[in-house]
Amino acid sequence: MDKKLMLAVAGAGKTTYIINKVCAEYKKVLIITYTDANYNNIISRLRERNDGVIPEGISVFKYFTFLYRFCYKPFLSDYVGARGINYESNKNRYAKSTNLDYYLDSGDRLYSNRISLLLDKTDAIKDVQNRIKKYFDCIVFDEVQDISGRDFSFLEEVMKIDMNMFYVGDFYQHTYNTSADGNVNTSLFDNLVKYVERFQKAGITYDDKTLIKSWRCGEPVCKYVREKLGINIYSNKGEQGGVEFVDSDDKINEIWLNPEIVKLHYQKASTFGSGHRNWGDTKGEDCYQDVCVLLNKTTMQAYKKGNLQNLAASTRNKLYVAITRAKGNVYLIEEDYAKKLER
């Protein structure tokens, strides 16, 4: 029986591994992922492999859809009567976990970050475990690094199921939290070794060999990430592409006006129009040749000091996501300077 935690680097081919290895080896597979980009990518790749349709026996869910449709509805729908999901947090600080208003908003929608807690409090976890095992012989949690807070406690309950399971992700692409409610698992991502130990204690084998080289980024980009961000990533592609800080007015204008080069911002990319994206929002995307990464004030200061590695973990991880979107070159530009030139 396979029970594995597989931590990948950016562009290492984890989706390819899931589809070509796992989905080929097992007949009834449940795949759960978090972001829209990864969900769409998995669906697209499955269809490519199977004449335009999802193979029979394979089910793909986004995480909260899985919690709501597969876990909550069969066992608690009649009792709770929820009418959907609210992805905001409960503003009622006086609600108690023993009351339904702790889990439901005024429109009877379940707060997303409390669905797994509701399953636990109502003793539905065992039913969920049995239901998963009844319909599937293998479960895959993609983007596992974003399962956090109480949802990670739920994940540990899933680990107890006697079946094949794969937890696939990139520890340093932890840019979102499925649940940040209360003081539960708040230090989960502080340390890679301790994170891995949580899985190993549940009988999950750690595979840090299969997905360690990127098929997307060239070695110069990988070397930059290793040396500047302190993240171990190597390349399968050789000496392709590179990272360049650009401060020439002419070259900045050339890059800025080039529609083929996506511009990646820390935040508020939508204010710049089409062709501009936020760093973290591009996670899971694999369609960019060259990218322009705009450095905001905090990141620019760290860059000048040679201190990018010590950025806040969430900022460093989003920067890692942005840089590793490139199949070719990465152009680093000071965002404030680019704004002045645009005027």
Task: Record the pTM.
Answer: 0.91
Q: Give residue 342's pLDDT band: very low, low, confident or very high (50, 70, 90).
A: low
- The fourth-level CATH superfamily of domain 3-207 is P-loop containing nucleotide triphosphate hydrolases (3.40.50.300)
Q: What is the reported pLDDT for 284?
A: 82
pLDDT mean over 169-189? 88
The 10s digit of each residue's pLDDT in 303-323 is 999 999 999 999 999 999 999
Same fold, 3-207 and 213-342: yes
Q: What is the reported pLDDT for 298?
A: 96
Alpha-carbon distance of 331 to 294, in angstroms, equals 8
Q: What is the reported pLDDT for 91?
A: 84
Confidence check: pLDDT of 172 > 60: yes
Q: What is the mean pLDDT of the chain?
A: 94
Q: Is 268 left (phi over 0), alpha (psi -120 to 50) or beta?
A: left
Whether the Cβ atoms of residue 158 and residue 191 lie closer than 8 Å to each other:
no
pLDDT mean over 71-87? 96
| Domain 213-342: CATH architecture, name and number where available | 3-Layer(aba) Sandwich (3.40)
Lowest average pLDDT, out of 178-187, 253-262, 289-298, goes to: 178-187
Q: What is the reported pLDDT for 175?
A: 86
Q: Give residue 343's pLDDT band: very low, low, confident or very high (50, 70, 90).
A: low
Confidence check: pLDDT of 1 > 80: yes
SS (HEC) of the chain: CCEEEEECCCCCCHHHHHHHHHHHHCCCEEEEECCHHHHHHHHHHHHHHCCCCCCCCEEEEEHHHHHHHHHHHHHHHHHHCCCCEECCCCCCCCCCCCCHHHCECCCCCEEHHHHHHHHHHCCCHHHHHHHHHHHCCEEEEECHHHCCHHHHHHHHHHCCCCCEEEEEECHHHCCCCCCCCCCCCCCCCCCHHHHHHHHHCCCCEEECCCCCEECCCCHHHHHHHHHHHCCCCEECCCCCCEEEECCCHHHHHHHHCCCCCEEEECCCHHHHCCCEEECHHHCCCCCECCEEEEECHHHHHHHHCCCHHHCCHHHHHHHHHHHCCECCEEEEEEHHHHHHHHC
Q: What is the reported pLDDT for 32?
A: 98
The 10s digit of each residue's pLDDT in 202-239 is 999 999 999 999 999 999 999 999 999 999 999 998 88
More confident residue, 90 or 160: 160
pLDDT mean over 164-192? 90
Q: What is the reported pLDDT for 287?
A: 87
Confidence check: pLDDT of 341 > 70: no
Helix axes 73-80, 125-135, angle to 10 degrees: 140
Alpha-carbon distance of 160 to 63, in angstroms, equals 19
Whether the Cβ atoms of residue 167 and residue 4 lie closer than 8 Å to each other:
yes
Question: Domain extents for the chain?
Answer: 3-207, 213-342
The 10s digit of each residue's pLDDT in 251-284 is 999 999 999 999 999 999 998 888 999 999 998 8
Alpha-carbon distance of 169 to 161, in angstroms, equals 20
Of how many residues is the chain composed?
Answer: 343
